[in-house]
Structure 1
Amino acid sequence: MAEHGSARGIRRSVLAAMAIATLTVATVALSGCAPREEAMTPHESRDRLVEVIDATTALLGVDGWSRNHEPDPETCTTDEGTDGVSYAYGEFTAVVGDDPAADAAKVAADWEERGMQVRVVDDAIAVVYGIGGPVRSLSFSTGPNGYYLEGSAVCVPGDAGRIAEEDSEQ
């Protein structure tokens, strides 16, 4: 009889614990008190974009990548609807690789692994579009005159004009 009582007690304890856990999860979800990622600075957002672009160029193993300029800050609207800053990075080019379609597939797979939503358009040339994850948006084109990468960083709170001044002073 003691064992039967113990089993019932354990079962009640487990059910009580499950009820508390369920209420805790529901309370967190409804109250919005779930842990949030700490806000990025504009420079951290820029660095994430540069990291993905650098990793993409390394993944392809194509020589001759050149950039016409560093990422530039620009005004954007944050998810909260406030003015923010994002970095735009374009004109990052290289010669076309030996197998552009395979390179586009490599880029798409890598970006998906990074948490981006990816779409590939493969008409006369392959173009890979990615949004989300560590960046706001990226695109990789396989031609016709060379590989081309461009993108923008996640929009974060900040003043693009002030950030541009700070960047020019460095």
Structure 2
Amino acid sequence: MNDDVTMTSDEAKQAIVDIVDRSYTEIGGDWTIRSGPAVQSCELPSGDPGAAFTYIVDRAPGGDPSSDIENLQDFWSGEGIAASPYENGGSDPVHGLSGVGGPTTSIDLYADPAGYTIEGFSVCTPGDAAEMQGNGE
């Protein structure tokens, strides 16, 4: 996200839900919300405290990680998200895709054949995360 563009906290919350939901629709399957959208503290470019949202969804086993990663990388690129595939270490590495930009601070796909996860973190917006949490955010 361009630092010159400011979203309200409501807009950031909706944007992260939208991009995560559209991402899992892009690769298909039956997804479940694990967490969020949940507010948390962040730091604005000015150094002031702000509020951002995380949103995490999971999918049961299935799919083709290589194909799904490639498909999602193309989709994210069209949304202004710069994404790079990766794999963790070990004898049976888990593959994934990590992105930044667009409507996110970061977004990740963990494409484990045992189950997938997409985790998004919104842009940081002006607001008091602790107060928002106290108000049920």
Give the TM-score normalised by the residue count of structure 2: 0.86
Q: Which runs of 5+ in 2 are unaligned?
A: none
Greater Rg over alpha carbons, structure: 1
> Secondary structure at 2:112's aligned position in 1?
coil
Give the corresponding residue for 2:15.
48
Give the corresponding residue for 2:64.
99
- Name the structure, 1 or 2, with higher relative contact order (CA <8 Å, separation 6+): 2
Aligned length: 130
* Higher relative helix content: 1
CA deviation digits over 1:116-169, x for unaligned, max 9? Answer: 11111146232100011111101001114201111211001110011122335x
CA-atom RMSD in angstroms: 1.6
> Secondary structure at 2:24's aligned position in 1?
helix
Q: What letter matches 2:39 in structure 1?
A: P
Give the corresponding residue for 1:21.
none
Q: Tell me if the contact between 2:63 and 2:113 (Cα under 8 Å) persists in the aligned partners.
A: no
CA deviation digits over 1:13-32, x for unaligned, max 9? Answer: xxxxxxxxxxxxxxxxxxxx
Whole-angstrom distance in 1 between the partners of 2:35 and 2:19: 17
Change (3 A) 1:165 1:66: same
Q: Which runs of 5+ in 1 are unaligned?
A: 1-35
Q: What letter matches 1:113 in structure 2?
A: G
Give the corresponding residue for 2:105.
136
> Secondary structure at 2:45's aligned position in 1?
coil
Taking only the aligned residue pairs, the percentage that are identical comes to 27
Give the corresponding residue for 2:46.
80
Q: What letter matches 1:70 in structure 2?
A: G
Whole-angstrom distance in 2 between the partners of 1:86 and 1:45: 7
Q: What letter matches 1:160 in structure 2?
A: A
> Secondary structure at 1:55's aligned position in 2?
helix
Give the corresponding residue for 1:8.
none
Give the corresponding residue for 2:125.
156
Give the corresponding residue for 2:81.
116
Change (3 A) 1:75 1:120: same
